[in-house]
Amino acid sequence: MGVVHRYKGDGASEFDWENVEAGAYTRGGAVGGSMRVVIGPEDGAQNFAMRYFEITPGGQSSFDRHEHDHGVYILKGKARVLMGWEVHEVGPGDVVYIEPNEQHQFESIGEETLGFLCVVPPK
Amino acid sequence: MGVVHRYKGDGASEFDWENVEAGAYTRGGAVGGSMRVVIGPEDGAQNFAMRYFEITPGGQSSFDRHEHDHGVYILKGKARVLMGWEVHEVGPGDVVYIEPNEQHQFESIGEETLGFLCVVPPK
């Protein structure tokens, strides 16, 4: 059977869903982050995973470079995004595709916490 | 290089992004729908695609059953979702995972147009 994870936030505080566990996101030097796997292996998903990240103002994701690509959708806040040697500023509704083996990093530059969905292929 | 597609809507009317083409979504008897591939092969993405669908009130997606699974994130409006023989009502922020080979259909049941992201693995 498929799965529904109901949103149970109020739109303002940290986003949260029924039956989704929150974890710290500190890997690789990330600062100020939390992570939730909203669709993943525990739901039976074998072909992709959808994660939700929050990064408090001034915090940042790890500086990363790896074989898998990312599909990102910004839900709230603002980010400075490094992709290769280019820097972009993005906000709610913006879509970012990070290619395989492209160095990348997100920094939360707004006054509001940055929140984004990030899709990855299977490991 | 990765890609940024900037959101260029006003949050109210049909969502739209820079360098993303809008198409009608009428396949398989869908009613009232539009589709945009916000991340896909044209961006170099080989491992997944992210699409954005809108369905006007009273409209519906096709009644579908296929090998690939779906990861859905509701951005606006309300939907009645058929998964297998179960029916769920979902709204903004809710996450839906549809398993491979599970019959499914979305109906737009709110007064506002339904808008959702839908992730698929490669064909």
Q: ipTM, 2 decimals?
A: 0.96
- Give the chain B residue nearest A40 (alpha carbons): B97
Residue B6 lies in a domain: no
Minimal C-alpha gap between B35 and chain A (Å): 15
**What pLDDT digit, counting tens, does each position of A92-121 carry?**
999 999 999 999 999 999 999 999 999 999
Count of domains forming chain B: 1
- The C-alpha atoms of residue B43 and residue B20 are separated, in whole angstroms, by 10
Residue B8 lies in a domain: no
Residue B38 lies in a domain: yes
> Which token pair is A82?
């490094």
Residue B64 lies in a domain: yes
- Is 90 exceeded by the pLDDT of residue A69? yes
- Is 80 exceeded by the pLDDT of residue A12? no
Residue A123 lies in a domain: no
A9 versus A32: the higher-pLDDT residue is A32
CATH (domain of B60): 2.60.120.10
Q: Is B118 a catalytic residue?
A: yes
B84 at A interface, C-beta within 8 A: yes
Q: Tell me the residue range of the domain where A41 lies.
A: 29-110+114-118
B95/A5 touch (CB, cutoff 8 Å), yes or no: yes
- The C-alpha atoms of residue B81 and residue B48 are separated, in whole angstroms, by 23
Residue B15 lies in a domain: no
Residue B75 lies in a domain: yes
Q: Which amino acid is at B58?
A: G
Residue B111 lies in a domain: yes
Of B53, B2, B120, which Cα lies nearest the Cα of A105?
Answer: B2
Other Cβ atoms within 10 Å of A19 Cβ, number? 12
Beta-strand runs (E) in A1-123: 3-5, 22-25, 31-39, 49-60, 70-76, 79-83, 86-90, 95-98, 104-108, 114-120
Per-residue 3-state assignment (H helix, E strand, C coil) for B94-105? CEEEECCCCCEE
B96/A4 touch (CB, cutoff 8 Å), yes or no: yes
